[in-house]
Structure 1
Amino acid sequence: MATQVQIEQIIDTALSEDLGRGDKTTELVIPPSLGGTAGIIAREAAMVCGAEIIRIAFLKVDNTLQIKVNVPDGGRVKPGDVVLVVTGRVSSILKTERVALNILSHLSGVATATAQYIEKVKGLDVKISDTRKTLPGLRLLEKYAVYAAGGQNHRPDLASGILIKDNHLTALSARGISIADAIAKAKQGGRGMKVEIEVQNLDQLKQAISGGADIIMLDNMSIDDMKKAVKMVPASIKLEASGGITLDNIRAVAETGVDVISIGAITHSAKAIDFNLSFVTGRPAQ
């Protein structure tokens, strides 16, 4: 999970990108003393994630702003619901508006997509996981959004786990190094870390089982082959299905009996959720 320092670094980068040279429009037309209240409002049904993060963004721009979060991360909204209310200098609110909406829209999109996949496998003993297919610089926030929606996080970086993938095996096979040899080498130097290996067919699966892999990823396998794999693998080895997973086929994949289904689309292809920021005249936002 992202630490406070890491979250602030991401926000600082976003604010610098948008506000680093100032806001010419706001500075020219909005009186510095003008106060107001604005609400961030959902325009579609979604699962919210990021409200507490954008609170930090607003306060970084102006620590005198008063902010009320109405919907916690993982909460549901319908069109018209007010997610967050911010009161204070209008100029400060306007300077933060786009960064706040970008973060909230994207993370809510990730959380909503994750929740949709989880709903499809409801009642089955399987976990939905993210991957490293994330947008540059936003991985930790995207993984937080997956977690907030009830999903599971795969390794956050290359140092956090051992996963022998197809390109590792291709490179090793050119030197006559087998799957079992690769697993043994990883276990020897891994200092007790679990070793996961990606396989693309049942022959590779057999080699991974005999080599002593802790976790085996079934990459782009057919439903029939996944069913066979589940029967072949001892209970001590966890099975992960990945590749080509959609909302249409995830239930069938889960019913094969795999332990985890990892989906890159919940991060790299999540549809942004539509929110807008609107100022309220004559009364506080609800």
Structure 2
Amino acid sequence: MSTRITDLTQAEAFVAGAGLSVEALAVIVAEALGEDLGGRGVLPPGTGRGVDVTSVATIPADATATAELVARRPGVVAGLPVAAYVLAVVLEGAEQQPAGGWSVEVLATDGDRVETGDVLVRVHGGTRALLTAERVALNLLTLTSGVATATRAWVDALAGTGTRVRDTRKTTPGLRMLEKYAVRVAGGVNHRMSLADAALVKDNHVIAAGGVVPAYERVRAMFGDLWIQVEVTTAEQAHAVVDAGCTDVLLDNMSLAAMSEIIASLKGRAEFEASGGLTLASAVSVAQTGVDFIAVGAITHSAPILDIAMDLV
């Protein structure tokens, strides 16, 4: 089923319907377009700041075109509402509007597997505006689709085990909302969005607090309504924090045998997440320890983009 957008309000509704903040996305896109058009001091005055100088010089102001966003490689697509929003912002903001207006038709759905040559979006409008919007729309779409593709590989590897892949805060600065969205649509699970919405007691907190249990208890005393996870590196720490009331334990860089023993002895009292040096090749073996989640920073910080291009047709 396709989605047709003919004004910015519809694009905003499409974004909101995907569970993304329109306000936050507007900031991301404004920054990205400003960067691409010489804003925020990235170019000196007098160098065409604010316009796509190549398109303005080579394309008549009243020229129109139809373009398609096309997958160049197979993968999992994510970020179509984001790309549609970028296109809508630039098309609606163009100085000269085409007769009959502009349109963005989204032909795929986030989370879909796509093949080489699949047309994901078809857009019609002023040619200058299309080419001005192209790079920002593609930068965000290829990034989030790359995260979704990497995440789906883990989801597929863990299929049938009962263990789920979970992301981390190892995200591109300023783009966490989009990267974590891509994880969700690909079947992964989000960890905390920020330092403020959940607590994760890590090794440095333990050292500063004088022990894993004191660290946990201090967080619970001050922020007891929030989700609290505690990172442990030994069986002794795991038992101690669960006995203290912790119900979410991160097993950091432990052997398969150690994780299996801890989970078997504490079964039903807490959820467990494995972290540290995990690979797709080891995913099933780690899942067989009984962990509920596998934390993988690589699905955001190291995911290659999914190659998607814009072609005038």
The TM-score normalised by the length of structure 1 is 0.93
CA contact (8 A) 2:197 2:226 kept: no
- 2:155 aligns to what? 118
- 2:43 aligns to what? none
Query: What secondary structure sits across from 2:120 in the alignment?
Result: strand
- 1:244 aligns to what? 277
- What is the root-mean-square deviation of aligned Cα atoms in Å? 1.2
Alpha-carbon distance in structure 2 between the residues aligned to 1:73 and 1:260: 23
Residue by residue, what CA displacement relative to the aligned partner does 1:247-269 show, whole Å, maximum 9, x if unpaired?
A: 11111111111111111000010
CA contact (8 A) 1:115 1:149 kept: yes
- 2:118 aligns to what? 81
For residue 172 of structure 1, report the CA deviation from its aligned partner: 2.2
Q: 1:72 aligns with which of 105, 109, 114?
A: 109
Tell me whether 1:151 sits opposite 2:188 in the alignment. Answer: yes
CA contact (8 A) 2:242 2:269 kept: no
For 1:111, the aligned partner's letter is A
Q: How many residues align?
A: 276
- Matched-pair identity in %: 39
Residue by residue, what CA displacement relative to the aligned partner does 1:26-64 show, whole Å, maximum 9, x if unpaired?
A: 111111111111111111101001111111101111124
Alpha-carbon distance in structure 1 between the residues aligned to 2:118 and 2:34: 30
The TM-score normalised by the length of structure 2 is 0.85
Return 5+ residue gaps in structure 1 as ranges.
281-286
Alpha-carbon distance in structure 2 between the residues aligned to 1:193 and 1:26: 51
Q: 1:195 aligns with which of 212, 228, 238?
A: 228
Alpha-carbon distance in structure 1 between the residues aligned to 2:290 and 2:108: 35
For 2:88, the aligned partner's letter is L
- 1:212 aligns to what? 245
Q: 1:182 aligns with which of 189, 211, 215?
A: 215
Alpha-carbon distance in structure 2 between the residues aligned to 1:188 and 1:244: 32
- 1:129 aligns to what? 166
For residue 79 of structure 1, report the CA deviation from its aligned partner: 0.6
Tell me whether 1:4 sits opposite 2:19 in the alignment. Answer: no
Alpha-carbon distance in structure 1 between the residues aligned to 2:245 and 2:184: 30
- 2:33 aligns to what? 15
Alpha-carbon distance in structure 1 between the residues aligned to 2:82 and 2:227: 33
Alpha-carbon distance in structure 1 between the residues aligned to 2:195 and 2:25: 20
Return 5+ residue gaps in structure 2 as ranges.
1-18, 40-48, 93-100
Alpha-carbon distance in structure 2 between the residues aligned to 1:45 and 1:71: 14
Alpha-carbon distance in structure 2 between the residues aligned to 1:180 and 1:204: 8
Alpha-carbon distance in structure 1 between the residues aligned to 2:220 and 2:208: 19
CA contact (8 A) 2:86 2:137 kept: yes
For residue 76 of structure 1, report the CA deviation from its aligned partner: 1.3
Alpha-carbon distance in structure 2 between the residues aligned to 1:110 and 1:35: 33
Tell me whether 1:162 sits opposite 2:199 in the alignment. Answer: yes
For 1:71, the aligned partner's letter is A
Alpha-carbon distance in structure 2 between the residues aligned to 1:62 and 1:89: 7
Alpha-carbon distance in structure 2 between the residues aligned to 1:182 and 1:43: 49
